[in-house]
Amino acid sequence: MVEIRLTNSKTRKKEVFEPIDPKNVRMYVCGPTVYDRAHLGNARPVVVFDVLNRLLRHVYGSEHVTYVRNFTDVDDKINATALARKEAGAEGSLEDLIHERTEETIGWYHADMDALGALRPNHEPRATGYIPQMIAMIEGLIARGHAYAAEGHVLFSVGSYADYGALSGRSVEDMIAGARVEVAPYKRDPMDFVLWKPSSDDLPGWDSPWGRGRPGWHIECSAMADDILGEEFDIHGGGIDLQFPHHENEIAQSCCAHDHGGFARVWLHNEMLQVEGKKMSKSLGNFFTVRDLLDQGVPGEVIRFVFLGTHYRKPMDWTEKKRAEAEATLRKWSEVAGRESNGRPDEAFVASLAGDLNTAGALSCLHQMFSVLEADWNGADLPDGTDIAATRETFVASANLLGLLTPDLGGWEKRHLTSDLAALAEHLTEVRAGAMIMKDFSEVDRLKSALIEAGVEVRMSKAGVELLPGAGFDPAKLEGLL
Ligand SMILES: [Zn+2]
């Protein structure tokens, strides 16, 4: 059996992964709050934990892995967007508009993440489907002396849980200073956090022992993980921005709700995403959604490839250069190796991935394997005994394990090629016709050398201009030629 090693944020060590039950390996990942399109940074944990899900399925068998990712469909931001629509004159009750908004956003999310080649989790629970479980958990916490009701709210008493702060390794004082905790008259301690809050008549609410209200954000993950995966399970994942307070609060709630429940054994956190070395933000003008990129013609597979080039525990920098390189590489790989395989992934490749999800190392293995296929493609002599067909099968099977070169994600490489090159061939034909009249071929020469530089084979004859992609074809270099 392949040995998987993962860096556990809880122990701050790289550990050999040993599932509680190898017949049912269980993972929970915090999902999106569904009020708007996912931005590029939201997609990073999706790809990171998709790779882990694929690796677990490869090692333990796809029927022995349970992957859960929630949708937060009750939230003040959702209420605000629905209210704004209502004020703008939209038909229907606020509740209808909220429902419409969350349904629409979940549809977008599925479409965008499918485009990145992320497998859908086994369960995608929605918070609104688990209100009774949340109420039951909150009642249990009150009964055990870990929570208290005050003015229609229920609060978790942080002082009642000695291990609070252990995940992020901070003292309660540091947390108070860093988190700008809300001081409210109904709180016994400023660190106490909300499990339940009252809803006014114009906001979504559910009847509860504390009056009509709605759950706090943290309790939903605890209640849904408990209901679907049990008191204790293997892996909990999410972005590093969720470590405090969200994950710290999940642990406090879940551990205090049970006598022996240890909640998640291994915690994994992915680092954040930047754009061209800067934090992505609306004020810097470098904010974009996954859909923006897809609409600009950047294939989802290319986005995925760029993400995989950086280890999940390091900040990932999205750059135009990486995008162009990823596109050229994938184009070449799919052209030479195709997308179908009945083979098994390469062992060194799997070992690399199993070493704390070293996706960059796994990509290096793929580059190495591909160099043999490329040499053969270019007609080079290969060492005796090289089995090209077997190498190709292994190469594609390995890429598939990373969610690359899957048939589902294919097609874009041909689409781009034909449209770009056909338009350029037409343009060059016109420029050449003009040059013959003016007896000035400088523009023809300029275009021709730029095309050759981009790896395009240029064939000019009396019959016309023909442009063909060569071995080193890099479509990114075609930009600006038209
Ligand atoms: Zn969560």
DSSP string, 114-152: HHTTPPPPSB--BGGGGHHHHHHHHHHHHHTTSEEEETT
- 303 Cα to the center of ligand 1, angstroms: 25
- 216 Cα to the center of ligand 1, angstroms: 11
Q: pLDDT by residue (tens digit) across 72-92?
A: 999 989 999 888 998 999 998
d(CA 82, CA 94): 6
Mean local confidence (pLDDT), 427-454? 93
Q: pLDDT by residue (tens digit) across 57-71?
A: 999 999 999 999 999
Q: pLDDT by residue (tens digit) across 443-469?
A: 999 999 999 998 898 998 888 898 887
- 424 Cα to the center of ligand 1, angstroms: 50
d(CA 26, CA 34): 24
For residue 181, pLDDT beyond 90: no
- 267 Cα to the center of ligand 1, angstroms: 12
d(CA 220, CA 166): 21
pLDDT at 178: 65
- 98 Cα to the center of ligand 1, angstroms: 21
- 239 Cα to the center of ligand 1, angstroms: 10
Distances (CA, A) of 362 to 55, 162, 355, 402: 12, 41, 10, 8
Count CA atoms closer than 13 A to 365's CA, side-chain side.
24
- 64 Cα to the center of ligand 1, angstroms: 23
- What is this structure's pTM? 0.88
pLDDT at 179: 65
Q: pLDDT by residue (tens digit) across 165-179?
A: 999 887 777 777 766
Contact 294, 300 (CB under 8 A): yes
- Residue 353 contacts by C-beta under 8 Å, 6 or more apart in sequence? 51, 55, 359, 361, 362, 401, 402
pLDDT at 68: 98
- 55 Cα to the center of ligand 1, angstroms: 22
CA-wise closest residue to 78 among 93, 95, 59, 64: 95
- 355 Cα to the center of ligand 1, angstroms: 25
Q: Residues in the chain, how many? A: 482
- Residue 165 contacts by C-beta under 8 Å, 6 or more apart in sequence? 171, 172, 175, 248
- 247 Cα to the center of ligand 1, angstroms: 6
Give residue 422's pLDDT band: very low, low, confident or very high (50, 70, 90): confident
pLDDT at 462: 83
d(CA 25, CA 449): 56
- 300 Cα to the center of ligand 1, angstroms: 26
- 288 Cα to the center of ligand 1, angstroms: 24
pLDDT at 171: 77
Contact 354, 391 (CB under 8 A): no
- φ/ψ of residue 250, rounded to 5: -60, -45
- 444 Cα to the center of ligand 1, angstroms: 59
Give residue 260's pLDDT band: very low, low, confident or very high (50, 70, 90): confident
- 250 Cα to the center of ligand 1, angstroms: 7
Q: Which helix (H) or strand (E) holds 77?
A: helix 76-87
- 85 Cα to the center of ligand 1, angstroms: 28
DSSP per position, 372-427: HHHHHHTT----TT--HHHHHHHHHHHHHHTT-S-GGG-SHHHHHHHHHHHHHHHH
Ranges 145-149, 187-191, 194-198: which has the least confidence:
187-191
Mean local confidence (pLDDT), 19-23? 98
- 71 Cα to the center of ligand 1, angstroms: 10
- 79 Cα to the center of ligand 1, angstroms: 20
- 457 Cα to the center of ligand 1, angstroms: 52
Contact 396, 339 (CB under 8 A): yes
CA-wise closest residue to 320 among 333, 332, 301, 303: 303
- φ/ψ of residue 235, rounded to 5: -130, 135
**Eight-class DSSP state of 28:** E
- 246 Cα to the center of ligand 1, angstroms: 6
- 105 Cα to the center of ligand 1, angstroms: 18
d(CA 340, CA 337): 8
- 438 Cα to the center of ligand 1, angstroms: 68
- 259 Cα to the center of ligand 1, angstroms: 21
Ranges 257-266, 272-281, 408-417, 445-454: which has the least confidence:
408-417
Percent of the chain with pLDDT over 70: 98
For residue 388, pLDDT beyond 90: yes
pLDDT at 282: 86
- 221 Cα to the center of ligand 1, angstroms: 5
Mean local confidence (pLDDT), 18-30? 98
DSSP per position, 174-190: HHHHHHTPPP-TT-SST
Q: pLDDT by residue (tens digit) across 352-373?
A: 999 999 999 999 999 999 999 9
Contact 71, 31 (CB under 8 A): yes
Q: pLDDT by residue (tens digit) across 289-348?
A: 999 999 888 999 999 999 999 999 999 999 999 999 999 999 999 999 999 999 999 999
- 463 Cα to the center of ligand 1, angstroms: 64
- 228 Cα to the center of ligand 1, angstroms: 14
- 192 Cα to the center of ligand 1, angstroms: 18
- φ/ψ of residue 451, rounded to 5: -65, -45
> What angle do the packed helices 388-401 and 320-337 form, to 10 degrees?
140
pLDDT at 168: 87
Contact 467, 461 (CB under 8 A): no
What is the dihedral angle through the alpha carbons of 331, 335, 341, 345, rounded to the nearest 10 degrees?
A: -50
pLDDT at 297: 86
- 35 Cα to the center of ligand 1, angstroms: 16
Q: pLDDT by residue (tens digit) across 88-117?
A: 999 988 888 999 999 999 999 999 999 999
What radius of gyration, in Å, describes the C-alpha atoms of the chain?
A: 27
- 29 Cα to the center of ligand 1, angstroms: 7
Handedness of CA 358, 364, 368, 373 (dihedral sign): positive
Q: pLDDT by residue (tens digit) across 223-251?
A: 999 999 999 999 999 999 999 999 999 99
- 421 Cα to the center of ligand 1, angstroms: 47
Give residue 276's pLDDT band: very low, low, confident or very high (50, 70, 90): very high
Q: Round the average pLDDT of the chain to a whole number and report it.
A: 93
pLDDT at 371: 96
